[in-house]
Amino acid sequence: MVYSDPAVTHSETLPQVLLARAISSPNDLAERHKRLGIWREFTWADVLDRVRALALGLENLGLSAGDSVMMIGENEPEHFWAEYAVQSLGGKVLSVYPDQNAEEILYLAEDSQTRIFLAQDQEQVDKCIEIAGKYPGALAIVYWDDSGLWGYDHPLLHSFESVSAAGRQIHAKEPARFEEHVKRGRADDTALLSYTSGTTGKPKGVVISHRYLFDNCSRVMGAIEIAPGTEYLTYISPAWVTEQIFGLSIGLIAPMVVNFPEGPEDVLTNIRELAVDALVFSPRQWENLASIVQARMLGAGKFRNAMYNWGMKVGRNVYVERLEGRSPSLAARLQLPFAEALVLHHLRDNLGLGKAKNAMSGGALMAPDVFRMFHAMGVKLRNVYGATEIGLLTAHVGDSYQLETSGSWMQSNTNYGDPLDYRVSDESELQVRGGSGFGGYHGKPEKTAEELTEDGWYKTGDAVSMTDDGELLFFDRVKDMRRLANGHSYPPQFIETRLRYSPFIKDLMTLGDESRDFVSALINIDMEVLGRWAEENKISFSTYTDLSQKPEILELIKGEVARINGLLPQGSRIARFANFPKELDPDEGELTRSRKLRRAFLEERYAKLVEAIYGGDDKTDLEIAVTYQDGRQGVLKATVRVSDVENASKAAKPQSKT
């Protein structure tokens, strides 16, 4: 997207956009915050007044251009104002998660060379005071919520109000001082240090410039329509770069009205009151919402439950069908107005999602079934995907997209760098270049170099592929992929997780390593579901073993495997599979008590079946020692069939024995 708003096109930094907004639209609503049960509104003039006062007050405490300031607190207006204030002076911001402990905060302070701490309340102030004796670089600890702090006496401690009051006095004497600071800002100035999670070592601070933020806002706004005045709920932490892009940057650039809930525990109530247009949650938060709906329905009466199930079925048969590119049946379309009036409209309103045009999930992948549940309600939930180092890269766009994917490739604004480009390496790793680029890790040039290829592409570490429709399919981290003897790699977790979504499959185990040329699977069918299916289709059977080997059942399972194969590159697809001849049982050591597969034991126990799969046989006779429910020991004798899957790579399939 190319910006056309003069407030943005004439600006290089976020504080410059804020200044332009306050000059051109001083009385327009910018933010809304609920505190002590009352919603309070802030115009652009209000926001500028608070940012300017705090910035000059922080300068008075000794903050200079290039210095780092740490923010520790929940999403509140003061948190956002403080970020803009620091950036107005040319400073760097690092936001940390409120639940990080003193030891973690000390490491981040030392690594970033933090000069001032901005802390929300007593809990966060206590952490800062605890590390103050170990960290001599601090100039001040500034807090904005004084609850419980009246008796505190520490030489570094200052209130938000006292620092801002000093800033207002400076502004009265030097009315041009703040604006001069803001005008000195440049696009390549560092705006943020966004720290990685540290799952594979110490967290690293990614250097984020204003150019990066403008570029990423352009990518998002080019992919997803965000109109000026969009009501946005800020909830995910600014410690996550996604909220820096949405709440703090698009909030200024679109601009949006940014709504702050009273607290994390009040967010669901506040969403219902606001009925916002846009929000970003993590997959876990969306899953929690889905669980709340399901839990409420468990406590509902039979009639309400029946109405809910009917309404959701109609929603799936219309909204999900359309989303996935299919035409809903006439019967479903005729029922939709009634389902909307009686069920779906009320569901959305109760969740505060009645007006949500842009409901987004970012971070880890979410189960497609959860996506389908919200789409069945009429909530157009979308995935966004990216990496802190290089920015947001894909999003679900338009009215039709694949729920298994992370969306279509975003376009960058060439005013901020080269076109955003990608390639997929031989190891299936997504590599990216272009856009505003990778700014490196703060103070760690050797770590920065490790993340780049010899020809300058950023290595995401994510194993992916692109679908025929140009949507990105995330498999796993490259380090968690398995390699085959022929050089292909495959994502076991991706395959197994998605096949478990099938109502016909209870569990499965993929096979394939550096001693084998193709991927295969051993599948535990769902006896209850397939038993009903067999009865409905007039297929007679006597036992689990009999049912699992029926040709009709094997064809049904083959279709499920082929469907997931269609999401995978040729060399990563399941070429052959067999159904276990018995239900997997923790009493026989096949499962743990938490029902996780004991893979090594299973591969040893069913070694003859594995040999048949990789030897090209179409069946094998097994004898398995079993323990019956009454404690008796016995031997299960079964002929187990091996099935080929037609859409697997021909090169990966074994040659049949002659």
Q: Which candidate, 227, 185, 191, places its Cα nearest to that of 10? A: 185
Q: What is the pLDDT of residues 230-280, one digit of tens each?
A: 999 999 999 999 999 999 999 999 999 999 998 877 787 888 888 899 999
**Amino acid 363: pLDDT:** 76
Alpha-carbon distance of 215 to 187, in angstroms, equals: 10
The pTM score is 0.84
* Residue 299 forms part of a structural domain: yes
Looking from the CA of 301 toward its CB, the CA atoms found within 13 Å total: 2
Specify whether the backbone of 242 is left (phi greater than 0), alpha (psi in -120 to 50) or beta: alpha
Q: What is the pLDDT of residues 598-620, one digit of tens each?
A: 888 999 999 999 999 999 999 99
Mean pLDDT, the chain, integer: 92
Q: Among residues 185, 207, 229, which one ends one of the domains?
A: 207
517 and 409 in a common domain: no
CB 261 within 8 A of CB 270: yes
541 and 420 in a common domain: no
CB 313 within 8 A of CB 329: no
What percent of the chain stands above pLDDT 90?
A: 74
The CATH number of the domain holding residue 502 is 3.30.300.30
What are the structure tokens assigned to 170, written together?
A: 């400076």
192 and 287 in a common domain: no
pLDDT at 86 over 50: yes
Q: Which amino acid is it at 29?
A: L
526 and 471 in a common domain: no
CB 389 within 8 A of CB 397: no
Q: Which domain holds residue 624?
A: 481-652
Alpha-carbon distance of 510 to 210, in angstroms, equals: 45
Residue 561 pLDDT class (50, 70, 90 cuts): very high
* Residue 404 forms part of a structural domain: yes
Residues 448-459, mean pLDDT to the nearest whole number: 97
Q: Which amino acid is it at 155?
A: P
pLDDT at 653 over 60: no
**Amino acid 433: pLDDT:** 97
Q: Among residues 177, 207, 237, which one ends one of the domains?
A: 207
391 and 335 in a common domain: yes
- List % helix, strand, coil for the chain (3-state, nearest 5): 40, 25, 35
**Amino acid 593: pLDDT:** 64
- Decide the pairing of beta strands 472-477 and 458-466: antiparallel
436 and 576 in a common domain: no
Q: Which amino acid is it at 246?
A: F
> What are the CB-based long-range contacts (under 8 Å, 24+) for 547-555?
548/579, 548/580, 548/581, 549/579, 549/581, 549/638, 549/639, 549/640, 549/641, 553/525, 553/579, 554/579, 554/641, 554/643
Residue 117 pLDDT class (50, 70, 90 cuts): very high
In the numeric block, the tokens 């079934």 are attached to 369
**Amino acid 45: pLDDT:** 99
Better-predicted residue by pLDDT, 218 or 288:
218
In the numeric block, the tokens 């703090």 are attached to 248
Q: Which residues pair with 521 in a beta bridge?
A: 510, 577
**Amino acid 347: pLDDT:** 94
Q: Which candidate, 410, 449, 44, 417, places its Cα nearest to that of 209? A: 417
Q: Which candidate, 510, 515, 559, places its Cα nearest to that of 533? A: 559
175 and 84 in a common domain: yes
pLDDT at 657 over 60: no
Q: Among residues 178, 207, 236, which one ends one of the domains?
A: 207
* Residue 81 forms part of a structural domain: yes
Q: Which candidate, 111, 93, 116, 113, places its Cα nearest to that of 191? A: 93
Q: What is the pLDDT of residues 147-169, one digit of tens each?
A: 999 999 999 999 999 999 999 99
Specify whether the backbone of 229 is left (phi greater than 0), alpha (psi in -120 to 50) or beta: left
* Residue 258 forms part of a structural domain: no
Alpha-carbon distance of 313 to 323, in angstroms, equals: 15
Q: Which helix (H) or strand (E) holds 157?
A: strand 157-159
Q: Which candidate, 439, 387, 444, places its Cα nearest to that of 210? A: 439
Render 454-522 in DSSP notation, one character per residue: TTS-EEEEEEEEE-TTSBEEEEEEGGG-EE-TTS-EE-HHHHHHHHHTSTTEEEEEEE--TT-SSEEEE
**Amino acid 655: pLDDT:** 35
CA angle 518, 521, 524 (to 5 degrees): 175
Phi and psi at 647, nearest 5°, equal -90, 15
Q: Which amino acid is it at 193?
A: L
Number of domains in the chain: 3
532 and 398 in a common domain: no
**Amino acid 200: pLDDT:** 65
The CATH number of the domain holding residue 106 is 3.40.50.12780
Residues 431-441, mean pLDDT to the nearest whole number: 97
**Amino acid 652: pLDDT:** 44
Alpha-carbon distance of 31 to 149, in angstroms, equals: 27
**Amino acid 594: pLDDT:** 66
pLDDT at 399 over 90: no
Number of H helices, E strands in the chain: 25, 27
Residues 405-426, mean pLDDT to the nearest whole number: 94
Residues 81-101, mean pLDDT to the nearest whole number: 97
579 and 455 in a common domain: no
| Three-state SS at 570 | helix
* Residue 273 forms part of a structural domain: no
For 61, 486, 508, 526, the CA distances from 545, given in Å and listed in that order, are 77, 34, 16, 12
Residues 373-400, mean pLDDT to the nearest whole number: 95
| Three-state SS at 153 | coil
